[in-house]
Chains A and B, each alone.
Chain A
């Protein structure tokens, strides 16, 4: 029955658990998805906004550059110092102390650098001279005096955007050009400082010119824009890309145009690390909440299940007790629900069973008693119709009980021996009178028939419960100690003790009673025969008990024979040795 324990509780708790898990998992998934989607949307909106701001800041930078160029060329300082390089350098350095982070290049009409100064705040500390800048894109157009102001991008060695214009002397002769520029990585870093997004400048072919991303120039090629991406970028729409270089992030691309010149693209990249971290934190929080909810629900489920199943378990235990025969057991009714009703019904059923069982048991006992009386009457009748066996069962019982007491048998064993003594020959009913009452020794086939008596007797007695302990005695009282008896050829201790006692008692009475073919033998004769049969026919321990109790047995024999049998006139000379000690 133990395999059924807690099945009910499981049936209650498992659906709870499954439902909670399903709802919790679905809820967590939905909530996480919705919140992630909302966060992503906010992130995208912010990124688009930052993209526009970044573009504005780039345009503001362009305007600043042009303003500085105008300031440098508006007065006479530039033209006055143009022909004197040291003076021009000093003048430029002074000018750049108020325009930091600006590059100023001056070139002669052939495109050779006169002097170049990079502003770094209060001190312009980088100065170059005499480099050949004629290869700079569009510079020749400026030196040809073709434009008052032109924006050009110089990619190497450090990408920068310049705005330049021709320089003429007082006579209006073209003496060179001046260009004011910004290094693009500096511009990107400046925008990042205020916008907190990374800025990347791409040329018209999608190659990186400068970026605030934490990448060395050798890694810039990983950011290059392919043709498809570039074609999607227009002034009226943005393109969003997922980036991993320099950390996870999203980048939006917008056109980079200065006045009417399309110079390339500007990328604004916002890191998604924070967004991912927030999303993960949110998921962890939701999963933790979900698990807590599941545990709480399970705890409630287990509590409810136990509350329901405990009375059921009590009821199951009660059914076990009742089925084991405890009809006095009453299960306490602790609930007023269907289980309580079931318990009350079970108690009523138990009481009813007890009442009916009592009367049934009584009837069975009466039946068995009646049957036993019938059997005993039959046994008496069997015995009575044969004058040679008259009184046999009574004498066997008396002898057997005497020996059993010497052997220390308890009351239950004595009771079985008494009953078996009365009933041991009941199997004679199944044997023909011709054999039973034969005046001569039995033939072999007749002996075989006679040997069926114990089995026939057991078959007759099998239906009576309380005779169960008696049956082995009836069946085996013709077994022999050496295993040559019948019906089962049991050996030594395999034979029940009561049967071994009955064997000696039966043999004693058979020898000391008249038989159709001979007169009764003397007690001494019987004793000698029993002693001879010790450890072969009879159990030597029972034979010893017989020796010890021979005085009492002889007394019985004398009573039965009306004191006619007196083999030992002086009773003190036999059987007394068990009370004496040698050498003590």
Chain B
């Protein structure tokens, strides 16, 4: 999947503070154990995603909508599998987990 140069990921609050190496991204694990992480081509889509997720009952403790380089995101977050501009229904589905 080709990602735009600039994407936005959702950082959730963490007691570890703002350590870039430990920055917890909003994500969930699928059946095979992959960490699925939503990323958005604009901040508007990110906030819309959050707004709709709230309406659906998925509450996100937002810390920061983080702009990232789409060309390097796989390198920066190797353990994450990026999903671009997902809908809340499509992302959360029946699985929960961060």
Contact = CB atoms under 8 A, between A and B. Distances in A.
Interface of A: 527-528, 531-532, 534-535, 540-541, 543-544, 547-548, 573-574, 576-584
A342 to B, nearest CB: 57
B8 A577 contact: no
A576 B8 contact: no
Contacts of A532: 42-44
B98 A535 contact: no
A536 to B, nearest CB: 8
B43 to A, nearest CB: 4
B68 to A, nearest CB: 9
Given A544-B62, A548-B62, A578-B62, A535 B8 contact: yes
A528 B58 CA distance: 22
Interface stretch (B46-54, B70-78, B79-87): B46-54
A532 B8 CA distance: 11
B65 interface: yes
B67 A534 contact: yes
Nearest to A547: B47
15 contacts: A531-B42, A532-B44, A534-B65, A535-B8, A540-B43, A540-B64, A540-B66, A541-B64, A544-B64, A573-B55, A577-B50, A577-B51, A577-B54, A578-B61, A580-B60
B81 to A, nearest CB: 17
The CB with the most chain B CB atoms within 10 A, among A535, A578, A583, is that of A583
A121 B10 CA distance: 132
B73 to A, nearest CB: 14
A521 to B, nearest CB: 15
Contacts of B44: 528, 531-532
Contact of A540 (B12, B26, B65, B92): B65
Contacts of B54: 573, 576-577, 580
Interface string B82-98: 00000000001000111
Given A531-B47, A534-B8, A543-B43, A582 B65 contact: no
Interface secondary structure of A, over-half rule: helix
B35 interface: no
A332 B53 CA distance: 74
Please name the 10 residue pairs, one residue from A and one from B, whose CB atoms are nearest each other, closest first: A580-B59, A535-B67, A534-B43, A531-B44, A583-B98, A531-B43, A581-B61, A583-B96, A577-B54, A578-B62
Contacts of B50: 577
A547 B64 contact: no
Contacts of A541: 64
A274 to B, nearest CB: 90
Interface of B: 6, 8, 12, 26, 28, 42-44, 46-47, 50-51, 53-55, 58-67, 92, 96-98
Nearest to B58: A582
B20 to A, nearest CB: 13
Given A534-B65, A547-B47, A580-B54, 9 more contacts: A531-B46, A534-B42, A544-B62, A577-B51, A578-B62, A581-B60, A582-B12, A582-B58, A582-B98
Nearest to A534: B43
Contacts of A582: 12, 26, 53, 58-61, 92, 96, 98
A148 B22 CA distance: 138
A464 to B, nearest CB: 34
Contacts of A576: 54
Contacts of A581: 12, 59-61
**Looking at A531, A544, A582, which has the most chain B CB atoms within 10 Å of its CB?**
A582
Contact of B8 (A540, A580, A583): A540
Contacts of A584: 61, 98
Contacts of A548: 62
A9 B42 CA distance: 74
Contacts of A543: 43, 65
A578 B12 CA distance: 9
Most chain A beta-carbon neighbours within 10 Å: one of B47, B51, B66 = B47
Contacts of B12: 581-582
A544 to B, nearest CB: 5
Contacts of A583: 28, 96-98
Given A535-B8, A582-B53, A583-B98, A577 B43 contact: no
B36 to A, nearest CB: 12
A532 B45 CA distance: 9
Contacts of B59: 577, 579-582
A573 B51 CA distance: 8
Nearest to A574: B51
A144 B63 CA distance: 150
Contacts of A578: 61-62
A399 to B, nearest CB: 17
Nearest to B18: A541
Nearest to B55: A573
A440 to B, nearest CB: 29
B42 to A, nearest CB: 6
A535 B6 contact: yes
A548 B61 CA distance: 10
A535 B9 CA distance: 12
Nearest to A481: B67
A544 B60 contact: no
A547 B44 CA distance: 10
Given A540-B8, A540-B43, A583-B96, A577 B60 contact: yes
